Amino acid sequence: MRLNYHHLRYFQEVAHEGNLTRAASRLNLSQSALSTQIRQLEERLGHALFDRSGRAMTLTEAGRIALDHAERIFETGDDLVATLTGAGAAQAPLRVGALSTLSRNFQLRFLRPALAEGAELVLSSGNSQTLLRALESLALDVVLLTDPPPRDQFPDLIAHRIAEQSVGLHGRPHRLAHGSLTELLRAEPVLLPTESSIRTGFDSLVARLGVTPRIAATVDDMAMIRLLAREDLGLAVAPAVVLADELAQGILVTAPFELDVVESIYAVTVPRTFPHPLLNRLSERMTDRGDLSSPAS
């Protein structure tokens, strides 16, 4: 009971020509043979596809629906051939996964080469295990993480370190009037992300300083860290890119103390015979990190 795609192709030709004789000539078929093919398709679909008036053939409502599907089916076939042969301009959407805690501003910077080309993007966020499983199954083209995938679980994945971002303390100006980092951390509440490398580095820092910080919130979303800092709930422990707009506008400022804490970001891919063409452009960012690795980003 499967659809006969030869019938569908013949139907498409007749629909475009609006005339059985001309379509038969283009297809190098006899008119009677083509008519039989169309009739078999109509029987398979259970609907008349044409209103016949003399030699003219006009699509019925069912015919218009069938033509719309036929066009998309054959366009998809053309895309398949173009993708596997490397020919033509057909290009599938670039499917990017990102850790839910990763800065949206950073993601935008990473994707700019693709955006500049007008590429269609499919963006997903989630935890690392879910994203890496999707990458393994080829449901994603690249995944952005803050830690490389564990080799024992994902031995075939490749992690490209594309950025190292300095982590600082950022907040409303009145919270930063302290003479030292130790004094600042003892006096002001902090907003901590759950992101592992930042949290590990911060815990090591306060242990060295002998400080027990007052934690106002622990957050698994960098966008919420930014909003809480705007609302003056405490000092955000984050890369500056997370709060780039607020820092540029002077709403928030960065404390003048080095934390010696960095967040590394990895673009994780899987070896493929037919990688997405845009990954070649993005790979330039994977090897030449440019503005992605600057302390202010």
CATH number, domain 92-297, options 3.40.190.290, 3.40.50.1000, 3.40.50.970, 3.20.20.140? 3.40.190.290
Q: Chain-centre distance of CA 232, in angstroms?
A: 32
pLDDT score of 206: 95
pLDDT score of 296: 35
| Contact between residue 197 and residue 263 where contact means Cβ atoms under 8 Å apart | yes
Q: What is the CATH number of domain 5-85?
A: 1.10.10.10
* Residues of the chain predicted below pLDDT 50: 89-90, 288-297
Strand, helix or coil for residue 101: coil
pTM of the model: 0.65
CA atoms of 210 and 194, how far apart (whole Å): 21
pLDDT score of 91: 64
- Give the domain ranges of the chain: 5-85, 92-297
Q: Which of 227, 166, 230 is nearest to 198 (CA)?
A: 166
User: Distances in Å between the alpha carbon of 43 and those of 23, 57, 85?
Assistant: 20, 17, 36
pLDDT score of 116: 84
**Beta-carbon count within 10 A of 287 CB:** 9
Q: Which of 81, 98, 71 is nearest to 13 (CA)?
A: 71
CA atoms of 135 and 133, how far apart (whole Å): 5
What is the per-residue pLDDT across 5-30, written as a single tens digit (0 to 9) for each?
A: 899 999 999 999 998 899 999 999 99
pLDDT score of 297: 36
pLDDT score of 123: 93
pLDDT score of 35: 92
pLDDT score of 92: 73
pLDDT score of 77: 83
Asked, colleague to colleague, whether 5-85 and 92-297 share their fold, the answer is: no
